[in-house]
Amino acid sequence: MSVRLEPDRRRSELASRCATQIEKPFWNPRSGAFDGAQLRRAIVLRGRTVREFAVVTKVSLACLYRALGDYGVTDDTATKIFDGLRQRQLLPPIPELPNAR
């Protein structure tokens, strides 16, 4: 059984649903801000911890945590982060186990 909504309520419901599906860009060149969740995911999918990534990229841990916190970073820091992500390929996917629940 479906419930019919008034046109105004339906429109606002659709608008709120669309607003939650809008994806933030990985890096905003205007503000210099990374999307922290996407950056952390990119680091982890390459098999590194945040601390290891900071050492390899020669970015201070404070600057890297700033980037992970959705704050703007300098162009030099952003370039080092992109170079560090390019250095290592993504880890291969984990195969599914046949008896996994």
Render pLDDT for 8-66 as a digit per residue (tens, 0 to 9): 555 565 555 554 555 779 999 999 999 999 999 999 999 999 999 999 999 999 999 99
pTM: 0.71
What is d(CA 66, CA 40) in angstroms, rounded to the nearest whole number? 12
Nearest to 43 by CA among 88, 2, 11: 88
CATH of domain 27-86: 1.10.260
The residue length of the chain stands at 101
Render pLDDT for 17-28 as a digit per residue (tens, 0 to 9): 554 555 779 999
Nearest to 73 by CA among 42, 28, 41: 28
What is d(CA 94, CA 18) in angstroms, rounded to the nearest whole number? 32
Q: Are 24 and 64 in contact (CB under 8 A)?
A: no
- The enclosing H or E element of 85 equals helix 75-87
